[in-house]
Chain A
Amino acid sequence: QQPVQSPQAVILREGEDAVINCSSSKALYSVHWYRQKHGEAPVFLMILLKGGEQKGHDKISASFNEKKQQSSLYLTASQLSYSGTYFCGTEIWGSGAGSYQLTFGKGTKLSVIP
């Protein structure tokens, strides 16, 4: 079950903030966030596990609301280097021991301009 990301695209000026949302219709075990620059492979940002935790590093953080099966990625004081496509990947709860079915959303294209 593919998670739904919103918005599909966003344009920011340097220094502005953005929020990217990821939602699922299934109970989630974990949410992964990755960033992909054009022509490159996706790069890991963070994992959030069932439990409603919030994580972050530098000016990028994320939250996981397990009641709503939603995760949000927060980018504050955006920099030009933040440009890229952001993907959330979700693992469904209860899909079995050893299950690791990480399904990605269609991505959110973020463009940061000077």
Chain B
Amino acid sequence: DAGVIQSPRHEVTEMGQEVTLRCKPISGHNSLFWYRQTMMRGLELLIYFNNNVPIDDSGMPEDRFSAKMPNASFSTLKIQPSEPRDSAVYFCASSFASIRTNTGELFFGEGSRLTVL
């Protein structure tokens, strides 16, 4: 399996522009997560989906952030308009949560490094 695939790997944009980050989870996984990593705040959970349905988006910092998962093999995280403080590495991760344990290891993509000037 190719693992979790994220694009773009690097994005440099100017303040006010729209940014769209993409993620293809591992086939067969039923949970998908978006995390943001910065030196100051570490790994922050932004939103996660279970069977394509958003379960908790309380970590999404503002209305400027939105995430969608139209099908089991694709998700997007959109920032509009972007601001310099959004600069971070955004990770997508997927997992298969078994019925028995309702948890499972997270497989992370390589991340999208966003720089907003």
Contacts and interface: CB of A to CB of B under 8 A. Distances in A.
Is B a genuine binding partner of A?
yes
Interface of A: 2, 29-30, 32, 34, 40-44, 47, 49, 87, 89, 91, 97-107
Task: Give the interface centre of B43, B105, B111 by most chain A CB atoms within 10 Å.
Answer: B43
Give the top 8 A-B pairs by smallest Cβ distance, nearest first.
A41-B108, A44-B105, A104-B43, A106-B42, A30-B103, A42-B108, A98-B50, A41-B110
A40 B50 contact: no
Question: Looking at chain B, what size class is its interface with the partner chain?
Answer: 20 to 34
Contact of A100 (B91, B97, B108, B110): B97
A102 B91 contact: no
B65 interface: no
Contacts of B35: 104
A47 B103 contact: yes
Interface in B13-66: 31, 33, 35, 42-43, 45, 48, 50, 55-56
B74 interface: no
A105 B42 contact: yes
Given A41-B91, A41-B111, A47-B103, A99 B55 contact: yes
B101 A102 contact: no
